[in-house]
Structure 1
């Protein structure tokens, strides 16, 4: 019998470095989420290129990316308008984030790794030190390290990818500048670490879910007070 033909496999997509268009998209996304660019505001690619100090090509690519994500609408005249983000939209994002974070935390804790529990305790000590020093940049970095350690330990790369996709709807780097956040975060981390030390996955998951939900409420109050997010009726 003739040898079975091997099924053709698609060529892998090339690995690309972070592009200028991605950086522009990140900047514009944060400007939208924090209210620097509002739903009533229309700007052209030329105006945005001047504002960001880049050419129009990465701006166009960034706007197409943001349009696909639902942040902007692009008109044939090369202008764009911001799609309004409501408080309910942000609540939905944090609900999804909290649900995914809880499951990742449950799986990580269920592995019963004492080295991970010890590492989380050390990271939390660094967070407390950064809070005492009043260092916003370090707070953000250590917070990322804390959650990254848990998420990577869960051993669920596809679930982690979905969680990371929710982060694009949350202003990046602003947590550490919100006055309430660091204290609430330290308490949330402590509850998570204790659950890891006790080997209690359900309690760890609940602590992680509560922690993310509280962070969301704090962020929503802060940016709503600055007029960044509206109610569905526009109020």
Structure 2
């Protein structure tokens, strides 16, 4: 894909307000633009245009792009500016492989120490997730999916490991899973199995079920990106 054309972005419905972590919010918005395919590898990200679109000054945009550069989302080309970095099929598969490995360890640790209140919290998120799917509200379903996994990760009692997992999960913005046609059935089936393993305090089974769940989610994500034409053969 050529790099000559600047990114032309739709103006959001409202600007971003002034907040202490504004550059983090801007980075999240740009990360979402990249991972949803609204800006593609090889496209330049112009500071002034992004600032105008977000309704903010250039400074937090520059800070956000520097942060995304350290994460590998963008590159800085001398005298030309920031450009969206390549993101190959293997890159996405590797991200989910790493997530699966860490999430499996967290689930195994959670199984050894999870308490009844956390199990009730998991069940509540799962009921709400299934209700949201039945009502055709994928956004709400994703929020409860996030809550389900957060409950497992907190129960593990390993905050540094959970933080590492969260850093990897940023590559998949909220709202992405809900657009995958096979994700609802996956979430319902796998979450029920994971809950059963946690309730039985079976660390090995909980870890393996979580690993398989994340791997399958990654396969759905790659298939969805392929349908979007991310890796069209030249």
Whether the TM-score (by the shorter chain) exceeds 0.5 is: yes
The CA deviation string for residues 191-210 of structure 1, in whole angstroms up to 9 with x for no partner, is 10111222211111111111
Residue correspondence of structure 1 range 20-59 to structure 2 within 5 A: 20-59=22-61
Say how many residue pairs are matched. Answer: 216
Matches of 1:207 and 1:28, distance apart in 2: 33
Q: Offset of 1:78 from its aligned partner?
A: 5.5
**Contact 1:35–1:227 under 8 Å retained in 2:** no
Cα RMSD for the two superposed structures: 1.8
Distance 2:82 2:104 in 1: 37
Instruction: Identify the residue that residue 3 of structure 2 maps to in structure 1.
Output: none
Work out which structure has the larger RCO, using CA pairs closer than 8 Å and 6 or more positions apart in sequence: 1
Query: What aligned pairs does 1:184-195 form with structure 2 within 5 A after superposition?
Result: 184-195=186-197
For 1:179 and 1:53, the matched residues in 2 are separated by 34
Matched-pair contact (CA < 8 Å) for 1:63–1:74: no
Matched, 1:134 2:131: no
Assess if the C-alpha contact under 8 Å between 2:36 and 2:176 holds in 1. no
Higher mean C-alpha deviation, range 44-53 or range 56-65? 44-53
Pairing partner for 1:226 from 222, 225, 228: 228
Q: Distance in 2 between matches of 1:118 and 1:144?
A: 16
Give 3-state SS (helix, strand or coil) of 2:83's partner.
strand
Instruction: Report deviation, 1:56.
Output: 1.4
Seen in structure 2, the aligned counterparts of structure 1 residues 129 and 75 have a Cα distance that, compared at 3 Å, is same
8 Å contact 1:33–1:85 — kept in the other structure? no
Tell me if 1:177 matches 2:207: no
CA distance in 2, matches of 1:218, 1:127: 19
Residue 149 of structure 1, CA deviation:
0.9
How far did 1:31 drift?
A: 1.1
The more displaced of 113-122 and 87-96 is 113-122
Q: What are the within-5 Å matches in structure 2 for residues 15-94 of structure 1? A: 18-77=20-79, 79-94=81-96
Q: TM-score, normalised by structure 2?
A: 0.85
Question: 1:44·1:78 contact (CA, 8 Å) conserved in 2?
Answer: no
Which residue in the other structure is 1:214 paired with? 216
Structure 2 CA distance for aligned equivalents of residues 36 and 59 of structure 1: 18
4+ residue runs of structure 1 moved beyond 4 angstroms? none
| Deviation, structure 1 residue 215 | 0.9
